């Protein structure tokens, strides 16, 4: 592990001041379940690591006006046991339950889950975020790509976003609170992510000296659910997920949000699936049509065509689940 200075400030302001505005010079430590591995593997070699663990205001969840506020340092275990979350946001509970390791739930935080780096083995083996050789040519299209992207992969990025919570929070229309040297700002959770077009960019939009402080979920009576497809039930990342929110009126869908996970370099919202649902009653047929629309634009690689079917299945079952028609 590369030598670095360690800081654990007690306020967000001091944490922001301790961070460099230059990429790679400093890193934020939230849950540590991913960052520590990246430090050990020397994918990260910062001169300073700033831990947020001592900042009390970043922990906990509760009502905040017309929103439900979740501090970025709230553990997944405590969020899972929250009564309001269990009652109003079952999609969030289901996503956390997919993380079967009790140790991981206890250590991982909302912020560390949202900002975890891709699990792409090319990235983890030191070939950079885009998995390129010394000549700048991608190793992925003709390489080992069975877990890589089937959507949003027409540029140089083929990894998939690894967050369990991001698709859910996008489906719930959540916003993120971010603090930097110029103060605090709120952005949709979807705007935390981008598909990098060069090796110099990251997959999230935070500046090097900004800190994710909270998530705000608007109060809503919309039905919501998450469905994950996994290779095995032991602790592992899903092959495909879908999170769905349905605003129902008179037995028909007045509005829908459908977001897929682990299929693209960012959580992938499907306007096509949403359009296929709106104005219709939920049934096996309408759910299947929406699922087909969700993956219509998929461009699988040489070894991951199976993910198209899996993503479609996840969307269909999440829709039926949200409508109370599936387990």
pLDDT for 232 equals 66
Q: What is the CATH number of the domain that holds 13?
A: 3.30.43.10
**Residue with tokens 């592992």, as numbered in its chain:** 236
Residue 180 inside a domain? The answer is: no
pLDDT tens digits for 72-110? 999 999 999 999 999 999 999 999 999 888 898 999 999
Residue 107 inside a domain? The answer is: no
Residue 246 inside a domain? The answer is: no
pLDDT for 234 equals 59
Residue 117 inside a domain? The answer is: no
Are the beta carbons of 225 and 310 closer than 8 angstroms? no
pLDDT for 33 equals 87
Are the beta carbons of 224 and 89 closer than 8 angstroms? yes
Prediction pTM value: 0.95
Q: What is the band of 235 on the pLDDT scale with cuts at 50, 70, 90?
A: low
Residue 176 inside a domain? The answer is: no
- Euclidean distance between CA atoms 49 and 45, whole angstroms: 10
Query: Which of these, 89, 116, 107, 115, lies nearest to 213 by C-alpha position?
Result: 115
Average pLDDT, the chain: 95
Residue 49 inside a domain? The answer is: yes
Residues 6+ apart with CB under 8 A from 97: 80
- Euclidean distance between CA atoms 124 and 117, whole angstroms: 9
pLDDT for 101 equals 86
Range with the lowest mean pLDDT among 8-17, 35-44, 49-58?
35-44
Query: Which of these, 161, 162, 119, 158, lies nearest to 139 by C-alpha position?
Result: 158
Q: How far is CA 171 from CA 161, 190, 205, 283, in A?
A: 16, 9, 19, 20
Residue 43 inside a domain? The answer is: yes
**Residue with tokens 């090319």, as numbered in its chain:** 122
Length of the chain: 327
Please state the domain count of the chain.
1
Query: Which of these, 219, 105, 220, lies nearest to 165 by C-alpha position?
Result: 105
**Which residue range is the domain that position 12 belongs to?**
5-54
pLDDT for 38 equals 92
270-285 in b/e form (b: 16+ CB < 10 A) is beebbebbeebebeee
pLDDT for 326 equals 73
Residue 135 inside a domain? The answer is: no
Query: Which of these, 58, 94, 32, lies nearest to 326 by C-alpha position?
Result: 94
pLDDT for 81 equals 96
């Amino acid at each position: 592990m590369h030598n670095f200075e360690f800081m654990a400030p007690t306020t967000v302001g001091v944490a922001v001041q301790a961070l460099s505005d230059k990429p790679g010079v400093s890193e934020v430590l939230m849950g540590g379940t991913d960052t520590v591995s990246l430090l050990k593997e020397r994918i990260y070699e910062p001169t300073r690591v700033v831990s947020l663990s001592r900042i009390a205001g970043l922990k906990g969840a509760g009502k905040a006006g017309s929103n439900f506020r979740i501090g970025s340092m709230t553990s997944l275990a405590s969020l899972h046991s929250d009564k309001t979350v269990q009652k109003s946001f079952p999609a969030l509970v289901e996503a956390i339950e997919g993380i079967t390791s009790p140790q991981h739930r206890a250590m991982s935080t909302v912020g560390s889950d949202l900002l975890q780096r891709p699990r792409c083995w090319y990235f983890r083996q030191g070939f950079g975020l885009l998995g390129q050789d010394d000549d700048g040519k991608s190793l992925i299209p003709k390489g080992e790509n069975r877990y890589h992207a089937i959507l949003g992969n027409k540029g140089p990025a083929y990894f998939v976003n690894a967050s369990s919570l991001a698709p859910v929070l996008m489906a719930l229309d959540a916003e993120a609170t971010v603090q930097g040297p110029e103060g605090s700002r709120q952005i949709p959770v979807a705007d935390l992510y981008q598909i990098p077009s060069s090796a110099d960019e990251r997959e999230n939009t935070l500046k090097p000296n900004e800190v994710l402080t909270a998530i705000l979920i608007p109060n809503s009576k919309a039905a919501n659910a998450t469905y994950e497809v996994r290779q095995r039930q032991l602790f592992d990342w899903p092959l495909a997920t879908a999170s769905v929110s349905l605003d129902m009126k008179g037995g028909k869908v007045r509005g829908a949000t459908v977001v897929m996970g682990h299929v693209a370099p960012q959580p992938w919202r499907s306007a096509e699936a949403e359009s296929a649902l709106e104005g219709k009653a939920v049934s096996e047929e309408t759910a299947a049509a929406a699922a087909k629309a969700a993956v219509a634009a998929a461009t699988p690689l040489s070894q991951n065509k199976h993910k198209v079917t899996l993503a479609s299945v996840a969307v269909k079952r999440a829709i039926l689940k949200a409508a109370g028609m599936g387990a």
